[in-house]
Structure 1
């Protein structure tokens, strides 16, 4: 079949790489793609936020399945347009995508279905928000209500940091909303399920590293690395998360007439074996998708197709007893201002356990250059996490790019468990 992937980051390269291995995949397109994705698919210039234009491309190229990678087109309702036209599509409609597009909406859903999460208040008035923060004190969490590419959250350990976060959000102008919530202690991890409105399939667990520098220091980022599985997500914790958080959420969404179809990524905080919801994402995480794709391979397309076609009840995700880890190679200055257009040299490897996924790259006159903040994902899969780590870091260190940097401690929590 002909397949279209919407997006152009490391997540989409991982999806394209996995899909291309499946014999069901005939022609693979990606919009807009990047230099790495171009090795797996035909990259096309397309406004992926415009459902009508995406549908026009689908019809013109006999596309049978569309995978919506990023959150922005989902929030714009692109999946609704495609499904209304009879196109098999992976990703929630606009109504269900509010689970990521609005943190205040997610809090409302949690309250309605009894899912454990941090106590919070939502504000549109800056003075009221500041008064609440001062009354609560630090540590406290400040979240921009809308989409923020994984960077709209400030975990403020001091009052001044919280107030600065409020100022930044409300500086966006009229209509800005902020969610202020209680600080949750514990260990953070991610749980991924696929749902088709009725059935649910557990897809795996992961743990990422949000801070820019070693030791979880520095500013919050979209993610500097990840590994799967996450040891903290034991069978018991996973079942509690499904029973107390995920399934009640899906039932509440269906009750409201917006059944959830696609991958639901639950960010969790675990303390003493009890999971609480930090946030939902309505798409595969980035860089978590890279480690999940590395472990699932070609069967990832089978799962996503079954979901899009309403056949998830008979689908399976067969994980080997292995581990995967990805190390983000980012541009100096990330998550702030970065230089683009810097030449990058990649070493080729014949090791099937290693793959360097492209996130922010493009090709200029045959030269690979940087084109974003997070630029590459050095990813590896092995029997143990330690072995996967060594392979991934070997790939990261082989990147010839003086303007790049990466954390040296990805996987420290799991590796520290011994």
Structure 2
């Protein structure tokens, strides 16, 4: 079959890498792709947000299956538009994807259906939000309602930071329209875990658990980013906890979305906080996480195409999903200045020195005069597996240390929480 992957980051590189392993796949296109993806697929110069352009391309090339990576095309209704034209596409509808597109909507659904989450309030004006902060104090979490590329969440440990966060989002318009409304939540104590699940509208099959590292600095310091690395599985996610999450969060959410006229098919991502009183939802995403996809797909044994076809045909309950033993780790190498403003165009060297078995997924790269250069904030996701977490960590950092570009920075403690357990 001919497959089109929509997107151009590390997650999409991992999807292309995994889909290529399927004997069913003859040819892969990626729009827009990147210089790393170009070694595995034909990159097409169409942006992920250009839904009409993607539709025209899929029709002209007679694409058999489209797999959507990023959230913006999903919340813009790419799945509905492709399906109306009789094209097979993997991802949730526009209505279902709104669980990521609007944090306020997600919180309202969780409150209505008793899905455990932090206490919250929603505000349309900075004045009201500031008054609420002054009334309830800190610590609290300030969230832009809309899509902000993983950066629209500010954890405020004191009232001054919380008030500044409200102004940053609503008055300074740091995230544009995404900040027209804010959600203010209680601060939850505990350890985070990411749980992705395959969903066909009724059946859910959780993927192996993972843990993202959102903050830019070691020991979870500094501002939030799109994710500085991840490992899988997460030891904090015990079999007992997994059972509770399926029973109290995943199944109730899928049922709630169906009841709200938003039946969900695709990958549902639950960002959870494991608190002393049990797991609570921090956020839902309507797609594969980035960088969690890189280690998670590294451990997936089953053909991803078989799983996607089972979901599209509503027979996920009949599909076996198998995982490799061991652990996987992804370390993100970022550009100087990220998650703030950063320079582009730095030459990247050392790919040929990366040890065998370590995969370098490209995120923000392009080519210039035959050289690979930086083109984004998160530049590379160096990923590998091992018989256990210690081995995977050792191998992945050998890979990281082989690669060089001016100003490169990365966390040195990815996976350390798992080792400590």
Q: TM-score, normalised by structure 1?
A: 0.97
Q: Does structure 1 residue 211 correspond to structure 2 residue 215?
A: yes
Structure 2 equivalent of residue 234 of structure 1: 238
Q: Does structure 1 residue 71 correspond to structure 2 residue 75?
A: no
2:229 to 208, 225, 233: 225
- Check whether the contact 2:299–2:328 (CA below 8 A) recurs between aligned residues: yes
Q: Does structure 1 residue 271 correspond to structure 2 residue 259?
A: no
Structure 1 residues 412 and 359 mapped into 2: Cα distance closer, same or farther (>3 Å)? same
Structure 2 equivalent of residue 250 of structure 1: 254
Q: Give structure 2 stretches of 5+ with no counterpart.
A: none
- Check whether the contact 1:20–1:298 (CA below 8 A) recurs between aligned residues: no
Secondary structure of the residue aligned to 1:340 is coil
- Check whether the contact 2:192–2:273 (CA below 8 A) recurs between aligned residues: yes
RMSD: 1.4
Give the Cα–Cα distance (whole angstroms) in 1 for the partners of residues 85 and 236 of structure 2.
42
Structure 2 equivalent of residue 414 of structure 1: 418
Give the Cα–Cα distance (whole angstroms) in 1 for the partners of residues 223 and 383 of structure 2.
23
Structure 2 equivalent of residue 181 of structure 1: 185
Structure 2 equivalent of residue 370 of structure 1: 374
Structure 1 residues 273 and 140 mapped into 2: Cα distance closer, same or farther (>3 Å)? closer
Secondary structure of the residue aligned to 2:12 is helix
Give the Cα–Cα distance (whole angstroms) in 1 for the partners of residues 209 and 277 of structure 2.
15
Give the Cα–Cα distance (whole angstroms) in 2 for the partners of residues 128 and 378 of structure 1.
44
Q: TM-score, normalised by structure 2?
A: 0.96
- Check whether the contact 1:267–1:277 (CA below 8 A) recurs between aligned residues: yes
Structure 2 equivalent of residue 89 of structure 1: 89
Structure 1 equivalent of residue 320 of structure 2: 316
Stretch moving more, 351-360 or 276-285: 351-360
Structure 2 equivalent of residue 43 of structure 1: 43
Secondary structure of the residue aligned to 1:348 is helix
Structure 1 equivalent of residue 101 of structure 2: 101
Q: Give structure 1 stretches of 5+ with no counterpart.
A: none
Give the Cα–Cα distance (whole angstroms) in 2 for the partners of residues 7 and 189 of structure 1.
25
Secondary structure of the residue aligned to 2:208 is strand
Stretch moving more, 371-380 or 338-347: 338-347
- Check whether the contact 1:51–1:82 (CA below 8 A) recurs between aligned residues: no
Give the Cα–Cα distance (whole angstroms) in 1 for the partners of residues 277 and 16 of structure 2.
36
Moved runs in structure 1, 4+ residues, more than 6 A? none
Secondary structure of the residue aligned to 1:117 is coil
Aligned 1:341-356 pairs, distance under 5 A: 341-348=345-352, 353-356=357-360
Give the Cα–Cα distance (whole angstroms) in 2 for the partners of residues 322 and 273 of structure 1.
29
Shift in Å, 1:393: 0.4
Give the Cα–Cα distance (whole angstroms) in 2 for the partners of residues 345 and 308 of structure 1.
41
Q: Does structure 1 residue 397 correspond to structure 2 residue 396?
A: no
Stretch moving more, 115-124 or 235-244: 235-244
Give the Cα–Cα distance (whole angstroms) in 2 for the partners of residues 352 and 368 of structure 1.
20
Aligned 1:297-316 pairs, distance under 5 A: 299-316=303-320
Stretch moving more, 350-359 or 261-270: 350-359
Shift in Å, 1:81: 0.5
- Check whether the contact 1:51–1:79 (CA below 8 A) recurs between aligned residues: no
CA displacement 1:141-169 (0-9 Å, x = unmatched): 00000001111001101111111110011
